[in-house]
A and B are shown apart, each in its own frame.
Chain A
Amino acid sequence: MNCQETRALLSEYHDHELSREIFAAMKRHLAGCAACSEEYQKLKKGVDILRKLKSLNVPRDYSKRLS
């Protein structure tokens, strides 16, 4: 697996949406390629930042209006 193929699949790798074989090939590539590994860390960091968004409580009970 080369760098171009790896970078196109970074999100799917992160989300475990790849077949076992492709996941293993990517893991090997990332272990040996500093540039792709850095790219993956950036992707992960972006996801981590987004996940800091807190959820809000609902302002009212919507189901009551349907009765």
Chain B
Amino acid sequence: MKSDEKSLIEAARNGHPEAFNEIFRLYQKYLYNLMYQMSADAAKADDITQEAMIQAFRCLRDFRFESSFKTWLSRIAINLFRKECHKPKHDSLCLERIRIPENGTSPERIVEKSELQWCIRHNLQHHLPTKFRIVLILRDLHNLSYKEISDIVGYDISLVKTNIHRARRVFRRLFIDGKCKAFAHDYLCICEGILEL
């Protein structure tokens, strides 16, 4: 851990809220993106990011410097995300279901289909089981080590390794071996209307 980060945490513990704000400014973009990548839902990402920061603020005295602050904060957010996943589906209407026009050949649909960003998010959200999505995003989008991921998700490192490997196989099948093969080559998604496996 960087010494200035440690000083900020200690200052925050000693009752300096500005120090706490300073730490969060360092991580809020990371945390918001992590939650958006997990949920593909801006409102959920916003809620979980805020709730994670409030929980971290309340529990800062429990942080023992045994892991990095980023790992600790990520663990709080991932636990909140997992709780969110267990809520009944009707509580969180999927925005992607609304955005996709009925007519598969409409101009809007074609534009959306050509969006690599949309398709990656769609596949993460709808084609990957949550346990795979979590480790894949932490590893390949945030470059966290297997040990850090193990600390965050609470799995043994061997299970983290297995899940990362399986997650990559599922993800690459979607883009390279499977239905998204054409998309991977010419940026035209043919994942027609498949919203959930």
A interface residues with partner B (beta carbon < 8 Å): 8, 10-12, 15, 17, 42-43, 45-47, 49-67
Q: Is the CB of B172 within 8 A of A12?
A: no
Nearest 3 A/B pairs, CB to CB: A46-B172, A63-B21, A63-B24
Given the complex of chains A and B, what is the CA–CA distance between A62 and B29 in angstroms? 10
Given the complex of chains A and B, what is the CA–CA distance between A3 and B162 in angstroms? 17
- Which of B24, B28, B140, B145 is close to A47, meaning CB atoms less than 8 Å apart? B140
Given the complex of chains A and B, what is the CA–CA distance between A64 and B17 in angstroms? 10
Q: Is the CB of A42 within 8 A of B161?
A: no
Min distance, Cβ B64 to any Cβ of chain A, angstroms: 21
Q: Is the CB of A55 within 8 A of B161?
A: no
Min distance, Cβ A30 to any Cβ of chain B, angstroms: 16
Q: Is the CB of B49 within 8 A of A50?
A: no
Q: Is the CB of B37 within 8 A of A53?
A: yes
Known: A62-B28, A62-B49. A52 touches B116 (CB 8 A): yes
Given the complex of chains A and B, what is the CA–CA distance between A67 and B165 in angstroms? 42
Q: Is the CB of A56 within 8 A of B53?
A: no
Q: What chain A residues lie within 8 Å of B42 (beta carbons)?
A: 59
